């Protein structure tokens, strides 16, 4: 058998077994060449991937954006040598690239797969994420687009301990996602030893079946059995299928097979291992392309008007978010909205009234909420996922990985800060700005009024990467006209004169407190500049530096813990050697309890009185250089 012989026809079982051995050999060689990697975790799943590639996957490697392509997600991302070896067998990557660049600086063949490779939908490597995202892809295909492709997810057994996996089993089971197949590589051994259930396949089967899935228990090294299970998965209607495959880690090399202590390292003697596996092969597999599927064009009415709010009216920014999102949905039919069972509070459910077919209820499962968003993004949708901002911390790791995936998802967190009032600290987001700012490439916006919110909801759509909008529970006065523009990366200077002695910087609820403080200060004869820092990331460094030059003194006030929020965002503008203003940081230093919103702002020391007092103190502090040097 040579590469020509296997081109363009379906392989027989013996040939697939040979292909599996090739995948093992190439995984072993890749890790040996790199000096690191996970060959043993790759070897257990070689038949699973070989059969999938040769008989069941429909994929056009020359056209990875083809909407008819199946999706293959490597939830056990550390088995990247297996995936890359499969790409070699499919002719998408050369053997040379695999053996010379894997895990090397600048390579697209990273230690764990990322979308630097055109065939990789999402980055994996933090376990328990591939299946939730795969469920999101499958849901998007079935519910939103009626696309014919199938999503295949290869999971490890250790990661089945992650709760996020069960959020996925639950959603996919209840939604009847028969276009989704989870292939579970039950090799018995985790990183540091045996898994909880070892080779007790029934333990997994009982659980997964109870979640509404069809299950197939097989010997994962038996090509015919794997093939049969995948056939069954493709035939099964109304339920997703889990193929629970008993496998052996390091399969085929006696020195490591089913042994502890060989996770995540090259084989001790790679040359001997390659010999034991039957030597290097150069098989090529012809992966079936999908049926022709037309590219989708998303329509919409771009002239649909954003809501307009009257100056002075009291409107909660969460309400404006719901209203504007609904209009955005009319303007752009690619927009989908995902709720974490709080749509009545976040006001996302306004969208559902107008566009019910594009509203997905994810229930109280924030990891699956973000995973579903990422999954719809894979299917070229523009997702807006929302819940209480505090509960987004539940999905922090999914957001972190979405940044590595270069996902274009929009996240909206309501009920920010102590300003929510009586519900108390469990419901208060006091860490969300820090969390969202730290995500690579993120955009973080925090509106203070309804017209601004409406504009920022649409601005997020135009900012690639992870976008975050922070909304407020209570009503705030409308201070901007409906035609005002709010570019991402900008700010609004609301009070300004050349005589300003201090700059007050707020956003959201604290912007209104800052304005009130400025009024108090005027009564003293103190001129305060006021800046609305609605774009928390990126910040408007130019305007902040100008304010520093004029006033030399900043009071930054935020409804957030002191770390990682507004004040830190302000200081970023000065962190490349720019002269810094004197700065007073007003933030939530204490642990709040229950109280009215006004009491909360007062107790935290972030209301107008506290701002005015801090400003008075600061203007009496002389501006000196820090050092005489």
Within residues 605-624, the interface with its own copies by CB under 8 A covers 617-618, 621, 623-624
Retrieve residue 53's tokens: 């590639």
* Cβ 310 to its own copies shortest distance, Å: 28
Can 167 be counted among the known catalytic residues?
no
Among 435, 461, 511, 515, binds its own copies (CB under 8 A): 435
Cβ contact 443:538 at 8 Å: yes
- Under the binding rule (CB under 8 A), the answer on residue 441 touching its own copies is yes
Q: Does 115 bind its own copies (CB under 8 A)?
A: no
Cα–Cα dist 23/88, whole Å: 9
* CB burial readout 245-273, b (16+ within 10 A) else e: bbbbbbbbbeebbbeeebbeebbeebeeb
**Separation between Cα atoms, residue 109 and residue 565, nearest integer Å:** 35
- Using the rule CB under 8 A, is 353 a contact of its own copies? no
Site for its own copies in 551-570 (CB under 8 A): 551-553, 561-564, 567-569
Is there binding between residue 207 and its own copies (CB under 8 A)?
yes
* From 16-24, 220-228, 269-277, 427-435, span contacting its own copies (CB under 8 A): 427-435
- What is the residue whose two structure tokens read 């894997």? 102
- By the rule CB under 8 A, 404 interacts with its own copies: yes
Cα separation, 364 vs 384, in Å, equals: 16
> Contact with its own copies (CB under 8 A): which of 6, 241, 317, 367?
367
Rounded-to-integer distance, Cα 524 and Cα 518, Å: 10
Distance (Å, rounded) from C-alpha 201 to C-alpha 223? 18
- Residue 138 vs 285, nearer CB to its own copies: 138
345 binding its own copies? (CB under 8 A): yes
Q: Are strands 502-506 and 528-532 parallel, antiparallel or unpaired?
A: parallel
Q: How far is the CB of 211 from its own copies (least distance, A)?
A: 6
- Find residue 125's DSSP bridge partners: none
# binding residues, its own copies (CB under 8 A): 128
Q: Which of 15, 26, 121, 162 binds its own copies (CB under 8 A)?
A: 162
- Quick note: the x/- pattern for its own copies over 40-69, rule CB under 8 A, is ------------------------------
Task: Report CA-CA distances (Å) from 556 to 338, 385, 479, 531.
Answer: 33, 29, 20, 9
Q: For its own copies, give the closer residue by CB, 60 or 397.
A: 397
Catalytic residue among 15, 159, 167, 366: 366
- Binding piece for its own copies, criterion CB under 8 A, among 61-69, 123-131, 143-151, 321-329: 123-131
Cα end-to-end span (Å), the chain: 77
Tokens standing for residue 155 = 């999971």
As a whole number of angstroms, the distance between CA 628 and CA 459 comes to: 46
Contacts of 517 (CB under 8 A, 6+ apart): 504, 528, 608, 609, 611, 612, 615
The footprint of its own copies on residues 488-517 (CB under 8 A) is 501
CB of 347 to its own copies, least distance (A): 11
- Residue closer to its own copies by CB (options 82, 109) is 109
Told to check if 581 binds its own copies by CB under 8 A, we report: yes
Give the one residue of 45, 165, 256, 416 binding its own copies; rule: CB under 8 A.
165
> Applying CB under 8 A, does 82 fall inside the site for its own copies?
no
List, by residue number, the catalytic residues. 366
């Amino acid at each position: 058998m040579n590469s020509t012989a296997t081109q363009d026809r379906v392989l027989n079982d013996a040939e697939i077994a040979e292909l599996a051995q090739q995948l093992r050999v190439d995984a072993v060689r890749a890790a040996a060449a790199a000096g690191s990697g996970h060959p043993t975790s790759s070897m257990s799943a070689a038949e699973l991937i070989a059969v999938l590639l040769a008989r069941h996957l429909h994929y056009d490697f020359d056209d990875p954006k083809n909407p008819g392509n199946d999706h293959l997600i490597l939830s056990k991302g550390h088995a990247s040598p297996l995936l890359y070896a499969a790409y070699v067998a499919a002719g998408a990557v050369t053997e040379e690239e695999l053996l010379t660049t894997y895990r090397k600086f600048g390579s697209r063949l990273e230690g764990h797969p990322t979308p630097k490779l055109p065939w990789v939908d999402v980055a994996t490597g933090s376990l328990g994420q591939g299946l939730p995202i795969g469920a999101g892809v499958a849901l998007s295909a079935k519910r939103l687009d009626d696309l014919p492709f199938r999503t295949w997810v290869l999971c490890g057994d250790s990661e089945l301990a992650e709760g996020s996996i069960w959020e996925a089993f639950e959603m996919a089971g209840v939604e009847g996602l028969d276009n989704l197949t989870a292939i579970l590589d039950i090799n018995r051994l985790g990183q540091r030893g045996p898994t909880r259930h070892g080779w007790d396949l029934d333990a997994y089967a009982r659980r997964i079946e109870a979640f509404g899935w069809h299950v197939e228990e097989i010997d994962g090294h038996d090509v015919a059995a794997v093939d049969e299970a995948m056939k069954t998965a493709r035939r099964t209607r109304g339920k997703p299928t889990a193929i629970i495959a008993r496998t052996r880690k390091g399969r085929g090399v006696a020195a490591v097979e089913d042994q502890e202590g060989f996770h995540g390292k090259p084989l001790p003697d790679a040359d001997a291992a390659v010999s034991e596996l039957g030597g290097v092969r150069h098989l090529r597999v012809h992966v079936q392309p999908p049926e022709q599927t037309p590219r989708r064009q998303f329509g919409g009415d771009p002239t649909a008007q954003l809501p307009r709010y009257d100056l002075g009216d009291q409107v909660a920014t969460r309400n404006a978010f719901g209203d504007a999102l609904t209009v955005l949905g009319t303007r752009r039919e690619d927009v989908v909205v995902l709720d974490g069972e709080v749509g009545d509070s976040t006001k996302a459910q306004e969208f559902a009234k107008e566009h019910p077919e594009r509203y997905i209820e994810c229930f109280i499962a924030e990891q699956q909420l973000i995973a579903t968003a990422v999954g719809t993004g894979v299917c070229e949708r523009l997702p807006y996922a929302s819940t209480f901002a505090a509960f987004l911390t539940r999905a922090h790791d999914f957001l972190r990985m979405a940044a590595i995936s270069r996902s274009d998802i929009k996240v909206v967190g309501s009920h920010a800060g102590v300003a929510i009032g009586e519900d108390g600290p469990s419901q208060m987001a006091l860490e969300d700005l820090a969390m969202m700012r730290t995500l690579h490439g993120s955009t973080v916006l925090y509106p203070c009024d309804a017209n601004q919110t409406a504009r920022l909801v649409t601005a997020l759509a135009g900012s690639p990467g992870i976008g975050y909008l922070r909304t407020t529970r209570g009503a705030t006065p409308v201070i901007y006209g409906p035609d005002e523009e709010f570019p991402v990366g900008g700010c609004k200077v609301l009070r300004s004169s050349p005589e300003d002695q201090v700059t007050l910087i707020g956003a959201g609820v604290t912007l209104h407190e800052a304005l009130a403080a400025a009024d108090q200060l005027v009564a003293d004869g103190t001129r305060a500049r006021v800046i609305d820092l609605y774009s928390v990331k990126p910040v408007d460094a130019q305007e902040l530096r100008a304010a520093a030059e004029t006033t030399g003194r900043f009071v930054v006030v935020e409804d957030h813990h002191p770390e990682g929020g507004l004040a830190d965002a302000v200081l970023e503008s000065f962190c490349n050697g720019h002269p810094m203003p004197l700065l007073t940081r007003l933030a939530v230093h204490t642990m709040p309890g229950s109280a009215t919103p006004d009491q909360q702002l007062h107790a935290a020391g972030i209301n107008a009185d506290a701002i005015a007092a801090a400003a008075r103190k600061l203007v009496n502090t002389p501006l000196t250089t820090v050092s005489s040097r």
